Amino acid sequence: MKNKYSDCFYCGGVVEEKLMPREIRWGGQLLIIENVPMGVCAQCGEKVIKPKVAKVIDQIIEEEREPSKTIEVPVYEYELNLAEQIQD
């Protein structure tokens, strides 16, 4: 069942439901919940999650369910000295 969404709060564009991954930082870890139903503005890309969907995500995390898969994520440090070398 698809959720209904109001027009985008930021730009007034049409918001349509899509199944997308949701990245969450929890307890020092990066967690990814796949296939989350969320509203996405067709104009500016702003994303909206309904409260019921957020509660399901919270429940998944709090129950410490076994993940469907695990991936490695490379982590890089931002280097200010490189940024200073780039001209605007």
Q: What is the CATH number of the domain that holds 66?
A: 3.10.20
Q: How many C-beta atoms surround the C-beta of residue 5 within 10 A? A: 16
What range defines the domain where residue 27 resides? 15-85
Domain count, the chain: 1
Inter-CA distances, 18 with 15, 75, 87, Å? 10, 28, 38
- The residues that bridge with 49 in the sheet, in sequence order, are none
Given this model, what pLDDT does residue 88 score? 66
Residue 9 lies in a domain: no
Alpha-helix residue ranges (DSSP H) falling in the chain: 51-62, 80-85
pLDDT digits (tens, 9 = 90+) for 59-80: 999 998 899 999 998 988 888 7
Look up residue 4 and give its amino acid: K
pTM of this prediction?
0.78
Instruction: Read off the pLDDT of each residue in 10-19 and give the average, rounded to a whole number.
Output: 96
